[in-house]
Structure formats: structure tokens, C-alpha cells
Amino acid sequence: MGTVIPRKRSDGSTGYQAQLLIKRAGKIVHREGRTFDRKQAASAWLEKREKELAKPGALERLAAPDPTLSAVIDRYTDESIKKIGRTKAQVLRAIKGYDIASKACSEITSADVISFANQLVINVTPQTVANYLSHLAAVFAVAKPAWAYPLDQTAMKDAFVVAKRLGIASKSRERDRRPALDELDKILEHFGQRLKRRPSSIPMQKVIGFAIFSTRRLEEITRILWEDLDLGGSRVLVRDMKNPGEKIGNDVWCDLPPEALQIVLSMPKRSEEIFPYSGDTIGTNFTRACQFLEIVDLHLHDLRHDGVSRLFELGRNIPQVAAVSGHRSWSSLKRYTHLRQTGDKYAGWKWLSVLTSSTSSIGTSPKNFTTARLDPTPA
């Protein structure tokens, strides 16, 4: 039952306090109130709330926990048995710094999600916005069925549709950048000179060569163990291979082309990993080298694209290429089917002998290959 009580304010004006009290079996089970400037507004609110709370389950929902989105994200990351990838963990931590994270679950609407997306797109690309929303959607999908938190999955789905329609979020564009041989010549010479100056530095030449010929992603390269090498079958076990909806525990055997296997066999067995180096450091080294050499818009991940393209150019079909690249869905490889057999881009490549040589000769330039003198500053 509700009542409206006039109250004098300190400034002399009158406020109208709407008070709602609900009893069950003689006990108060719910109480709430709100103050309005006009009596009519107070009465209208009371009538609306009484109808809302009369609906089946309404009082039970009020008694249910209603934490902030930030708290739900914390619980999601703490209780997830399946290990959360580094990128997803970073995204969820970043989301906690936005206004939406301080809202209670029951308050979050699709408009709030769109507002969050609009804040993001000021500083990042629509593709990155889509990634953020995708990771946040995973939290929405779990919160209500697992913990009875009133986080509306429909609001997230609706917001995703709107964000895409408005161009705030979009799919990642497929890159088709491939390194030219002269660009690779400059990069490998650069790292060869650096390795001569600092023999203890990462053998970037071999990492780059393996990335091309194995078609492996950087994070996969640094995880491959010697025990994961099947020498007789010329293949490696790629652990936790990236795959939509599943990564941790997604271990896949991938064929190694001859050049990739030769590079592996040239590496010293000094640790459990074949390439026991930091992925972040490798990525930074490559980026800085490209900047120093004025090689525009070349990413380390483009080497995988180049390696896959090469296999098709050698006349391999989709199943044969997938056996190397690890693509579970062959449809992902259809973008390459326009390539026609053109021979081996790397046939007779002057760097093959360096990439497959023992570590004692790493850093040596191929015979008859010279470049302009490079700045000795490490990349």
C-alpha cells in the first residue's frame, strides 16, 4: 500500500514523498520511497510501482543480488576453470575502468552498452570495439544462468546489432600484405648485424624464417616444446591453438614443411622450448626493425599469411594447406583459392642456408649479398 506525504524543505518549498509498503502475513517484506516536486507525479509513480511489484516473482527479484558489472567481471575471471587468454583478460580489466562497470546489473540496458561502445570508438577502431563487446558478451552469457544476476543477455545482443549497423563495431578486415623478398633481405641483414654485435640476442632470423615456412602464429612459436616435435612425421604439436570459441586445451598436430623442419633442427637444445624467447620481445623487435628500415605496414603476423599463400602457390589444395596451418574450418582458407600455382617464391632464396645453419653461423650474410651499412643502434 502506498501513501503520499507532503514535506517542507529547507528552502521553503514542498516536496511530496511517495512511500510504498508491502506486507505478507503481517510482516513488512518490502519498503521503498521517492520524493517528487508535484503530488500528481508522486501518485503516478506509486501506481506504477504497485503494478510492477504485483507481478509474479517481482518481490523475489528485488531480493536477489544485484552487484555492479565490475564485480561480475571479477567473479567471472576468478571462477572460470577454463583459463582465460591474455587478450581477453586485458580487455575485461580495461572495461572495469568505464562508466558502465559501476552500474548495477539490473540497470544496464542496450543503450548503456551502446554508450560504452561510443566511448571506445573515440580511441580504437571499430574492429577493436567488436572485440571488446564480444568479450563482455561472454560475461553477460554466464551471469544470469550461473549466479542469478539480473544481467540482460538480450540487451547485449541488441546492442551488438545496433553497433554494427551504426558502424561503431565491425569485423576485422582481412589483411593481404605480404613481405617482398627485398624487404625480408633488409630485415634479415639487419638482425644478422645485430646478432654479430650481441651474440646473446634473440636469433630473429630463425624466428622469422620459421614463422614464414611453418605458418605458425608468434604465440604458438614460443610455446612449442622439443617433446612436441615428431621428427619422423615432420610435424609439431601446437598447444592451445587459437580457434573461435576455444583456445585453451585446443592442441593440434600440424605438418612442418621441409624448410621449417630444417630451421627447427638447427636450433640448440638449451631449454624445453624450441624457441625459448618472449613473444612480446620478438614482436617489438620486428616492429622496431621495420620502422628503422622504413618498411611500411608490415606486421609479424603477415608472415603467416605469406606462408599460407606460398603453399597454395606451390599447388597444394585446401586439406593439404590446412594440415600445415591448422585451420579447423576450411572456409577460412577460401580467400586463398584465387591464387594460381606460380612456383615457389623462395626457391633459391639466398637466406635459406643461413636460416637452416647451426647457431654458430647465425648472423652471417648470404654469399654475394651486401646492404648499406646499418645504424648500430639495437632494434
One domain for residues 191 and 325: yes
Distance of CA 330 to the CA centre of its chain: 22
Q: With 50 as the cut, is the pLDDT of residue 375 above it?
A: no
Range of the domain at 42: 2-63
Domain boundary among 63, 79, 112: 63
pLDDT in the model for residue 226: 96
One domain for residues 140 and 57: no
Provide the percentage of residues in the chain whose pLDDT is more than 90.
55
Domain assignment present for residue 320? The answer is yes
One domain for residues 54 and 87: no
Domain assignment present for residue 173? The answer is no
One domain for residues 141 and 8: no
pLDDT in the model for residue 359: 55
Distant-in-sequence, close-in-space partners of 222: CB < 8 Å, separation ≥ 6 = 273, 275, 276, 277, 278, 279, 282
* Mean pLDDT for the stretch of residues 273-294: 94
For position 295, which CATH number holds?
1.10.443.10
User: 134-173, pLDDT tens digit by residue?
Assistant: 999 999 999 999 888 889 999 999 999 999 999 999 887 7
User: 322-365, pLDDT tens digit by residue?
Assistant: 999 988 877 778 777 666 667 899 999 999 998 988 754 455 55
Domain assignment present for residue 376? The answer is no
Q: How many domains does the chain have?
A: 3
Q: Which long-range contacts (CB under 8 A, 24 or more apart) does 320-327 make?
A: 323/254, 323/255, 324/214, 324/215, 324/254, 324/255, 324/256, 324/257, 325/215, 325/254, 326/215, 326/238, 326/241, 326/252, 326/254
Q: With 50 as the cut, is the pLDDT of residue 370 above it?
A: no
User: 300-327, pLDDT tens digit by residue?
Assistant: 999 999 999 999 999 888 899 999 998 8
283 close to 218: Cβ distance less than 8 angstroms: yes
Domain assignment present for residue 377? The answer is no
264 close to 256: Cβ distance less than 8 angstroms: yes
pLDDT in the model for residue 310: 93
Instruction: Report pTM.
Output: 0.63
One domain for residues 187 and 286: yes
pLDDT in the model for residue 32: 81
One domain for residues 275 and 204: yes
* Mean pLDDT for the stretch of residues 215-236: 94
Domain assignment present for residue 371? The answer is no
One domain for residues 335 and 269: yes
One domain for residues 224 and 153: no
Domain assignment present for residue 368? The answer is no
User: 77-116, pLDDT tens digit by residue?
Assistant: 888 766 777 788 899 999 999 999 999 998 999 999 999 9
